[in-house]
Amino acid sequence: MDSLRRRQADASASASASDSAPVMSGNVGRGLLLHPLSDRAGWQAVGEITTVTCPAWERTLKLLPFRKEVVWHLEMSAVTFVDVAGASALAVAAQDLSSGRRIVVERPPATLPRLFEMFWPDLSAIEVVAR
């Protein structure tokens, strides 16, 4: 049990650290940047979510169950592409949230809502908005 508490504390500390510093994956031209939003709980994603950047995307999303906020925003207007692995990581993160919590995905690339409709049509923990 102490091991579980230690992991949760480490994840909580990582979540707090990720709020103050962007996470970068891949090279600058084809990478992924995640910045904390200044006006609400969440991150702005910039770049592409592909097999190259998916590990950083997954690490970031795994922090969400340890956050205290009921609604978490992902502002994705500057994301040019999300592959199936990236969409799957987001769906898994949403499924790991406790009841009543949700992820609001704002202005994602057109591929993301289509993937959700095809593979996760009943996933109520994700709300896609055009904002």
Task: Give the CA dihedral 119, 87, 71, 109, nearest 10 degrees.
Answer: -100
Model confidence over 70-97: pLDDT tens digits? 999 999 999 999 999 999 999 999 999 9
> Is 2-129 assigned to CATH 3.40.50.2000?
no
Q: Where are the beta strands (DSSP E) in the chain?
A: 23-25, 32-36, 42-49, 71-82, 102-106, 126-129
Whole-model pTM: value is: 0.76
At 10 the three-state DSSP class reads helix
Q: Which residues contact 23 (CB under 8 A, 6 or more apart)?
A: 32, 33, 34, 56, 59, 60
- pLDDT tens across 23-59, in order? 443 333 358 998 899 999 999 999 999 988 998 899 8
Residue 1 has pLDDT above 60, yes or no: no
| pLDDT-derived band at 115, boundaries 50, 70, 90 | very high
Provide the pLDDT for residue 120. 95
pLDDT of residue 28: 30
